[in-house]
Amino acid sequence: MTDIPPSRYKVVERGRRLVVIDTRSGRAVTHDRPSLPARATTTTTSSSSVPMAKPSPVAQARRTEFDGRAQLVTQPFYDRKGPRTLALDPGGADMVQGVRVIGILLVLVFAGLAFVWPWLLLAPLMLTQRPVRDGIRSAVTTWLDRYDHAATDSSSVG
């Protein structure tokens, strides 16, 4: 059986720091740290070199002002008029955030009940029917329109 060849590098402590030494040259090994790669989720606009984040597929209200106003970018998956950007007042932003929390809680409760009654897993199959999906999208679009008109009316008055 052959022996393992000696290592080219060794680690020693100098001045309370660990240093890697190249045994062939006897000098400390240094390397330049590579710069971080650009994030794949950013794009740049042609008018400026400032990177801008792409909109998330899951809509969430982003706070844009210190007074609580926010913007909501909708998606065509659940909004007939989507994608569109809604300017929400503080009350509307809180309402959208509350609906998100309630939706997450409903999914968790559904998952818990599916362990007890597995036949409940057949219920989401109703969402594959086009009339059911279209009815849900229409209801969500109507609900979002309330906040869209409320935001435009309040911004045009002030």
Q: Report pLDDT digits (tens) over 109-141.
A: 999 999 999 888 888 888 888 998 899 999 989
CB atoms within 10 A of CB 87: 19
Residue reference for tokens 């679009």: 141
Residues 6+ apart with CB under 8 A from 89: 68, 69, 150, 151, 154
Q: Is the pLDDT confidence value at 16 over 60? A: yes
157 pLDDT band, cuts 50/70/90, is very low
Task: Identify the pLDDT of residue 57.
Answer: 47
52 pLDDT band, cuts 50/70/90, is low
Higher pLDDT, 23 or 92: 23
Instruction: In whole angstroms, give the CA distance from residue 114 to residue 52.
Output: 41
Task: Check: CB of residue 110 under 8 Å from CB of residue 119.
Answer: no
40 pLDDT band, cuts 50/70/90, is low
Task: Identify the pLDDT of residue 66.
Answer: 66
Beta strands at 42-44 and 17-22: parallel, antiparallel or unpaired = unpaired
Higher pLDDT, 8 or 42: 8
30 pLDDT band, cuts 50/70/90, is confident
pTM of the model: 0.49
